[in-house]
Structures are given as structure tokens and as C-alpha cells.
Homo-oligomer: A and B are copies of this chain.
């Protein structure tokens, strides 16, 4: 059976109405599915209310001990359990998990180079057997961005990377589609025009667009990540707005599809 892996971030999590709308869409996706979530803004807000200010470098959070406690509380506690409660109410048998639970994701602390990111994890291994057991038992994993090093240390991990790692690992066993929901309607020709969606990108098109400087710099890590997932066996990657997810799953025109090989547009 095909598996849909969907990643959402703060632009959905932080707005109760958007979250409810998204979850009702997610509930309608047929077949095996896994939800991966971040939740950065909420973590920053709770940290600030406790006098701990967020420190970001290149969009990545510096994670000292106090910050690790806060992201663990917010991601694996408040957000995970609220999302699972809402999904359970929608009759989706969700199970909230961090990478430590059942040793789902083992990572290692990022080595100190120019910047010490602190307790930040780079993913080493995804427990594919556990995911298969849970999916086969009818459960829908809801995975947050806290992983561990198997030596007792929790590590804050990038949620996009978690979604990609789960997708590539499962792609050895099942056909996998990977959906990234973010705050734009897709990859755009003009960042200021949310209608200027590029409907399909493959490696040829990507190289062409980069040569012409069409791709906004903020999109490059996302797209590199997507192509890496495709190389590892994921069938297709989608980038777009959460509210268009169901259209995308059903193969209708919405957002940007990223594929290895060129094929007919829609």
C-alpha cells in the first residue's frame, strides 16, 4: 500500500483554525499515512514566558539545555498530544511519538564546527520495523522533532529532515509520497505573487531555474532535500499550502510537484 508522509510546521500548528482545517483534510487521506510536525513559534513563545529567549542562526535554533527542555515540552508534549486528541476525535487512530519512543529515530549530536548548535541532532537511523508494526496495527504515527542518541540524550532535530528520513527509509518497503506543507502555494517564480506557482520541477528544470536565478534562496535547501529524497527512492515530493493538500493527494493541480524524471504536466 502507498504511504503518504505529510509534514506541517508552525504556520499550521500555531493557528487553531488552520490546524483544525488541516487535520480534517489529513483525516481524509486514504491508506497508510504519517504526520510529521514542528512547531517553532509556540516553543519560542513558551520559552519567552519563562525568560528564555530563542536564538537562531540561519533559521536554525541554538539549543542549550533549557531550550531543549522547552522544545521537548512543547513539541513532544503540548503540540503532539493536542494534535493526537484532535485526530482521535476525527476517528483517526493517531499515536504521538518522538524519535526516542520505541527508538524510532536515532541521531547524533551535531559536531561543533563554526557554530555550536547545542543539543541538535543529525539523523542516523529510522526504525522501519517499528513503523511497519504500527501501520499494520492500524495506527497513524504523529512524529515530532525530538530524537535521541540511544545513550540517554534527547536532541532537537529539523522536522523537514525527519519527514525526509522517514520517507526515504520507508521507500525501501513501500511506495512513498512526501508532502511538505508550508506558507506559500508552492515553489514560486515571483516570491511576491502567490499565484506564480511552478507546477512541476525535475532535475533538468531545477538546474535551469537555478541558472536563471528564479529559485528564491530560501527554497534551495527545501528543494535539495526533496531531490535527495527522490534519489533515495521516494516517488514524488509535493510542496504547497496545507489547505491544498487533499487536492494534491488526489492528483489535482495544486502546489509544486517534484519528481526525478520529467513527465506530462498534470
Given known A-B contacts A49-B50, A72-B78, A76-B80, A95 and B89 have beta carbons under 8 A apart: no
The answer to whether B85 and A77 have CB atoms under 8 Å apart is no
A81, B85: Cβ atoms closer than 8 Å: no
Q: Is the CB of B98 within 8 A of A151?
A: no
Whether A139 sits at the interface, judged by CB under 8 Å, is: yes
Size of the A side of the interface (Cβ < 8 Å), in residues, is: 41
**Does residue A161 face the partner (Cβ distance < 8 Å to B)?**
no
Cα A150 to Cα B85 in complex, Å, equals 7
Which residues of A, 38-57, contact B by the 8 Å Cβ criterion?
46, 49-51
Please name all residues of chain B whose beta carbon is closer than 8 Å to the beta carbon of A133 when the two chains form the complex.
133, 137
* Residue-wise interface mask of A (92-105) relative to B, using a CB-CB cutoff of 8 A (1 in contact, 0 not): 01111110111100
Asked, given contacts A100-B96, A103-B93, whether A152 binds B76 with beta carbons under 8 Å apart, the answer is: no
Give this chain's copy count.
2
From B72, B94, B150, contact of A81 by CB (8 A)? B72
Q: Name the CB-closest residue of B to A139.
A: B102
Question: Is A73 an interface residue when CB atoms closer than 8 A count as contact?
Answer: yes
A4 to B76 CA separation, bound complex (whole angstroms): 26
In this assembly, does A74 line the interface, its C-beta being within 8 Å of a C-beta of chain B?
A: yes
Nearest CB of B to A107, in Å: 12
Besides the contacts A77-B78, A88-B103, what 18 more A-B pairs have beta carbons closer than 8 Å? A46-B73, A72-B78, A72-B81, A73-B73, A73-B74, A73-B77, A76-B77, A76-B78, A76-B81, A76-B96, A82-B154, A84-B100, A84-B148, A85-B100, A85-B153, A88-B150, A94-B102, A96-B100
